[in-house]
Structure 1
Amino acid sequence: MFLLNNHPEYRQPLDPADAETLGVAAANKVERFLSFRENHAETPLVALPRLAAEIGVSAIHVKDEAYRLGLGSFKALGGAYAVIRLLLEEAGESLGRAVDVSELYSAEVRPVACSMTFACATDGNHGRSVAQGAQLVGAKAAIFVHAGVSKERVAAIARFGAEIIGVDGSYDDSVRESSRVAEANGWTVVSDTSWPGYERIPGLVMQGYVALVRESLRQMPEPPTHVFIQSGVGGIAAAVAGHLAVELGARRPTFTVVDPARAACIVETARAGRPVTIAHGEPTVMAMLECNTPSLLAWRILARAADAFMTVDEDDAISAMRQLADPVADDPAIVAGESGGVGLAGLLKAASDPEMRAALRIDGHSRIFLVNTEGATDPGKYEEIVGASPAAIATKTRM
């Protein structure tokens, strides 16, 4: 499925609150917070010139989030950042003054952290970030996982000392259960999706993601003309689209949101012109994107800042993983998990379809920006799909 944005608010300025959440000042704050993380480093921006020539575009750059903060996905930027922000705010209320991130491990802040429990639902990656953030500050974490989350991903969350709470059903069921249990226990929900009356914290999560856009704009020789970003509930797509809209204004790139065909809640929302919940059907290999209800906050931004919406099939996602692992000629290899290469899957599908290519105005001058949103967060599944271990592909990259 491929749709151009025909929403009445398309190309309108972002809501002022959203522009503030995803703007330059917010990005500066995120980068300052990151400077206090011991293992923080900018992730690489990888150029794929041979693939670009093969599909007839000027450049392809992939922001490789497989290296982010030791967690293997872009989610490392969001959940932990929100946890830290919320702890400092709680400490400020307790102490009766503003508390700076430089005081995060102070004797005054630690007792506040010990009194807090942060909860969330997850497909895997967001829960790791919230659990890591809680461990960093000395708080507790309760992570709700649905039946489709692999044992490897659950174990990766548990390594940070989080309480794991299993939920029968889908991701959306785990979102509802986390909210219910957290309210009953006085815990703080740090969700990466929003619903009526709950937007500020998901906004903080999205704000954390802006760091990868800021880094990419510094790393690229020229701003991109086209962006393809995968979408679950819409958070990463909205964060990238929103920041580019604020930062570049009328020069912003053509932005395409890419959904799994089996979990296309953002595409169906775009088609309906309003947020819709889709039926939970057959599972998708793109496990981190298997969401059935869009984030209201993300949709409000994408309705204005996205240009097109499309779906990719299971084979498209698998092909993109393999393409990145075994690249054209001397392009560098990239380890991308099942959801990591979905933006590339969208690009390859659009570039090979004359109608989509024309609608998006992709040509020999186009400069494409993609995000590898996750590395091999389930190494066994990765090797099963790609036919080689993540370590073997990483070794090939270094050769």
Structure 2
Amino acid sequence: MLDKDTLSFDPNVARAMEFFRSQEHYDVSPLIEIDGPGGVKVLAKDETGRMGLGAFKALGAPYAVARILAEAWEAKTGEVLTPARMGDADVRDFAATHTFVCASAGNHGMGVAAGARDMGAKARIHLAATVPAGFADRLKALGAEVVRSGDVYEESVAEAIADAERSGATLLADGTWEGYTEIPKWVMEGYCVIAEELRASFEASGNWPTHVYLQAGVGGLAAAMAHMIRLNWAEQPELIVVEPEAAACLQASHKAGKPTRGEGPESNMGRLDCKDASIVAWSVLERCDVRYETLTEDEGQAAADELAALGVATTPSGAAGYGALCKRAAAASAGAEPRPLVFISEGPA
């Protein structure tokens, strides 16, 4: 039985903001306006250039790496590390004794690799056969060791867990399951920075969105955004969680009232092709009054193609929220979507 503390999510967003504002490559990602279906003006949070990694996950794993090392340093020395101290030689020497292990469908591994590199630590990333070779090359360029493990994502997750147990490395996953929840909550805490950037922008402009589309794999981004929106946005939008038909694990869990697999074939929305929901993300979404949409493979690709025609290059995963907006607009009456917000969650692969 999952207890309340295990499933709780109470992020310290001020701590995350302090950390990223101290980072040389941090900047607020653009909030752009594009012409959507039926002439609707669509707000798009463009994560395609985030901190040089080209995806929102640049805010998750690097932050968790820093938190893990800071806690280990404090346990050893008694010193509470400030962001400014993290680049000092003695701290980097300490970090060099640590290895972080994860499985990835692409972008989470990039975040782990970059976070480890920036702190002076090591990273080993397990990739399933379905992950494109281009991601493996980018991981290696960040200094990570890459291991091909299994035919599908779930098999690479199992191998990463076994690797950490075998080697003593730190497992840094973005999904949660019974017995493993705390570190992924720190990953989600990093994602909350996006919602705070948006809140500041909307408070300044007064143009709050009426609908927010949140694509989901295991659900970390969607849950972090939903939590922050419900916590402190002055005007409350409708929240729509978008998954591939082939991997609708969060919708299946919602219908079942408990974490449930979303069965299906391999999806071209590869970064969203996760059959098992994060139990923490599922729990957060259950209390945030969201509804669910799914996309077919053709709908995901069409959304990416349409965004490319509008000058925003992304993948079917990155375009999934926009795809759900287009799908809904086709069935809605004119004016039903006056101010939608979508997330372009990654650049082209």
Aligned-partner Cα distance in 1 for 2:239–2:224: 12
Deviation string, structure 1 residues 259-281 (Cα, Å, up to 9, x no partner): 001111112112212111233x4
- What's 1:8 paired with? none
Instruction: Using the aligned pairs only, state the percent identity.
Output: 34
2-side partners of 1:141 and 1:318: how far apart? 32
Change (3 A) 1:133 1:305: same
CA apart distance, 1:15: 7.8
TM-superposed CA distance for 1:338, in Å, is: 2.4
Query: In the aligned structure 2, how far is the partner of 1:182 from the partner of 1:310?
Result: 35
Asked whether the equivalents of residues 90 and 112 of structure 1 are also in contact (C-alpha less than 8 Å), the reply is no
Which residue does 1:337 correspond to in 2? 315
Could you tell which deviates more after superposition, 68-77 or 269-278? 269-278
**Which of residues 375, 378, 381 in structure 1 aligns to 2:347?**
375
Matches within 5 A, 1:1-399: 18=8, 20-21=10-11, 26-48=12-34, 50-51=35-36, 54=38, 57=40, 59-220=41-202, 221=205, 222-248=207-233, 251-279=235-263, 281-327=264-310, 333-354=311-332, 363-364=335-336, 366-376=338-348, 378=349
CA distance in 1, matches of 2:194, 2:181: 21
Measured after TM superposition, the shift of residue 27 of structure 1 is 2.1
Amino acid at match of 1:312: L
State the alpha-carbon separation in 2 of the partners of residues 364 and 181 from structure 1: 50
Q: Which has the higher contact order (CA 8 A, sep 6+)?
A: 1
Give the whole-Å Cα distance in 2 for the aligned partners of 1:314 and 1:278: 15
Report the RMSD for the aligned CA atoms in angstroms: 1.9
Work out the number of aligned pairs and report it.
343
| Helix, strand or coil at the partner of 1:152 | helix
Deviations 1:313-343 (A, max 9, x none): 111111111111113xxxxx21112211100
User: By how many angstroms is 1:283 displaced?
Assistant: 1.5
Within 2, Cα distance between the matches of 1:370 and 1:109?
Answer: 39
Contact 2:247 2:275 in 1 (8 A): yes
**Residues 79 and 205 in structure 1, CA contact (< 8 A), matched pair in contact too:** yes
Partners of 2:208 and 2:16 in 1: how far apart? 21
Q: Contact 1:88 / 1:101 at 8 angstroms: preserved in 2?
A: no
User: Take 1:226 and 1:18, find their aligned partners in 2: how far apart are those partners?
Assistant: 25
Does the CA-based 8 Å contact 2:329-2:337 persist in structure 1?
no
Higher alpha-carbon deviation: 63-72 or 218-227 = 218-227
Q: Per the alignment, in what secondary structure is the counterpart of residue 193 of structure 1?
A: coil
What does the per-residue CA deviation read over 1:5-38, in whole Å, with 9 as the maximum and x for residues that have no partner? xxxxxxxxx98984521xxxx2222121112222
Structure-2 separation of matches of 1:340 and 1:225: 21
Which segment is superposed worse, 142-151 or 363-372?
363-372
Structure 1 residue 364: Cα displacement: 4.9
User: Residue 63 of structure 2 aligns to which amino acid in structure 1?
Assistant: Y
TM-score normalized by the length of structure 1: 0.82
